[in-house]
Structure 1
Amino acid sequence: MLSLWEEIAQLADFDKDGMITVDEFKQAVMNSCVGRKYDDFPQSMKAFIETNFRMIDLNSDGIINIEEYRYDCVQRMVLEDIKIVDDAFYSLLNDDDRRRGGLTLSRYQELFAQFLGNTNENCEAIHLFGPLEF
C-alpha cells in the first residue's frame, strides 16, 4: 500500500506539500485517466477500482449481481423506488453480462474507464454508481 500511496502522491500532490486535496485528486484523475482505456490507467487507480469491485461483490463470486448493486447504491443515496436502481443496473448490462447475471471485474473495469473518460450523457457507464443525475 505504501508504494501505491507514493504513486498517488506523485500523480496528485502538485504543490508537493505532502497532502492531496480534493482538487488535486480530481486533477490527477483527469490527467491520468480521462480519455484512456483501463489498461493505460496508473497502477494506483487500477488498485482502487479493483478494490471497489471487491467491496461491492459481497459474495466474492466475481460478479456484481443486482442485489449487490442495489446494496451499494442504497448505502449512498436515498431513493423512493428500487425500480430506479434496477433500471440503472440493467442499463449497464450487455448480452454477455445478462447471461452471466451481472458485471465481471473486467466489465466493471471497462465501464469505470468509460465513466471517467466519456463526457456523453448517453454513455452506457453513466449508471455505474447508481441512478445518478447530472
Structure 2
Amino acid sequence: MAYSWDNRVKFVVRYMYDIDNNGYLDKNDFECLAVRTSVIESKGEVKPEKYEQNRKVMRNLWNEIADLADFNKDGQVSVEEFKSAVKNACVGKPFDAFPGALKAFISSHFGTVDDGQVSVEEFKCAIKDTCLNKEYDELPDALRAFIGSLFSTVDVNGMVADWIAEDKKKGGIDLKRFQELYAQFIGNPDETIGAVYLFGPLQELN
C-alpha cells in the first residue's frame, strides 16, 4: 500500500539517498549527495570549498549510516537493512531522538533555508529532488496542487487538508515543523496521519 510505513521508508531510500538508483546505498551515493547539496546551497554555482565541506559531511554521514544499517558489513546498505535500522532507531520517537546520521540529512536537504522558514520555492526544489529530478512543472498535477495548497491561503483543487491549516496561516512550514512531520513520516506506522502526505501522493514501490 502506498502510505504504509514500509512503502514510506522505501520512498526515503529510493528518492533521498539512492542517487544512482541501483537499489542499495553505498559510499558513492553519499559522494553524489555532496555534489547535489552543494548545487542546491549555492543555487547552481558550486564553490570548491563548499563542495569539500559537504563532501566531508557526507562521508561522515555515510560512515554513520553504515554503522547503523550495514549489518553484514559488505559496504552496502540494502532497503531491508535500512528499514531495520529505521525501525530500531526512529519508530515511535521524535525527531530530536533520531540518530545524528538521520537528522543530518534533513538539515543538509534544506541547507538553503537561512531564515528558519521553508519557502514555497525551497519546498518545490526539495520535492523536485525526491521526484527523479523532474522540473516542478513536470510533476503530477496532484502533487503540484498539494504543494500549492500547503503554501497558499486559498484552496487549490479542493486539496487543502485540516492538518496543514496552521502551517498555511504562517505562510509555510518552518524547519522545525518539517522535522516533526518527517519524524512522523518515517517513524509512525499509522497510515491515517497527515504526515504521510508530506511528499505529496505516493506510489507503491517494489
TM range (shorter): 0.7 to 0.9
The correspondence of residues 32-47 of structure 1 with structure 2, limited to 5 A, is 32-47=89-104
Matched with 1:25 is: 82
Find the partner of 2:127 among 73, 79, 103: 73
2:109/2:126 contact within 8 Å kept: no
Instruction: Give the greater-gyration-radius structure (CA).
Output: 2
CA distance in 1, matches of 2:102, 2:119: 23
Matched with 1:9 is: 66
CA distance in 2, matches of 1:107, 1:79: 25
Q: Amino acid of the residue matched to residue 12 of structure 1? A: A
Q: Amino acid of the residue matched to residue 8 of structure 1? A: I
CA distance in 2, matches of 1:101, 1:33: 29
Matched, 1:120 2:190: yes
Matched with 2:202 is: 132
1:33/1:117 contact within 8 Å kept: yes
Matched with 1:83 is: 145
Which segment is superposed worse, 36-45 or 62-71? Answer: 62-71
For 1:72-98, what per-residue CA distance to the aligned partner results, in whole angstroms no more than 9, with x for missing partners?
Answer: 435517313532443466545252x33
Q: Structure 1 residues 88, 53: closer, same or farther in 2, change over 3 A?
A: same
Q: Structure 1 residues 105, 19: closer, same or farther in 2, change over 3 A?
A: same
2:91/2:186 contact within 8 Å kept: yes
Structure 1 gaps of 5+ residues are none
Displacement after TM superposition at 1:106 (Å): 0.8
Which segment is superposed worse, 44-53 or 124-133? Answer: 124-133
Displacement after TM superposition at 1:107 (Å): 0.7
2:127/2:199 contact within 8 Å kept: yes
1:38/1:109 contact within 8 Å kept: yes
Q: Structure 1 residues 46, 74: closer, same or farther in 2, change over 3 A?
A: closer
Structure 2 gaps of 5+ residues are 1-56, 152-159
CA distance in 1, matches of 2:150, 2:170: 17
CA distance in 2, matches of 1:72, 1:46: 16
Displacement after TM superposition at 1:100 (Å): 2.6
